[in-house]
Amino acid sequence: MKIPENRKLNFILLVCIAANVLVGLRLYEASIHRAGYYFLDVGQGDSELVILPDNHGNEIKILIDGGRDKRVMRELGAVLGNDRRIDLVMMTHPQLDHFGGLIDVIQQYNIGAFITSGRRGEIAAFHELEDVLRVRQIKTIIVKEGDRMRYGKNTAEILSPSLKDAASKELNDASLVLLIASENVRALYTGDAGEKIEKRLLKTYNISADILKVGHHGSRFSSTASFLDAVNPKVAVIEVGKNTYGHPTIQTLKRLKATGAKIYRTDIDKAIRISTDDKKLMITKKQAYYYE
Q: Containing H/E element for 11?
A: none
The pLDDT, as a whole number, for residue 31 is 35
Q: What pLDDT is stored for residue 34 in this prediction?
A: 75
Q: What is the pLDDT of residue 54?
A: 84
**pLDDT recorded at residue 33:** 62
pLDDT of residue 274: 96
What pLDDT is recorded for position 286?
63
Residue 92: count of CB within 10 angstroms of its CB: 29
* Residues near 85 by beta carbon (within 8 Å), at least 6 away in sequence: 20, 23, 24, 25, 26, 61, 109, 110, 112
pLDDT at residue 276, as a whole number: 83
- Residues in the chain with pLDDT values less than 70: 1-33, 278, 286-292
Q: Which helix (H) or strand (E) holds 225?
A: helix 225-231
Q: Is 284 helix (H, G, I), strand (E, B) or coil?
A: strand
Domain covering 2-274: architecture: 4-Layer Sandwich (3.60)
The pTM of the full predicted model, rounded to 2 decimals, is 0.89
pLDDT at 57: 82
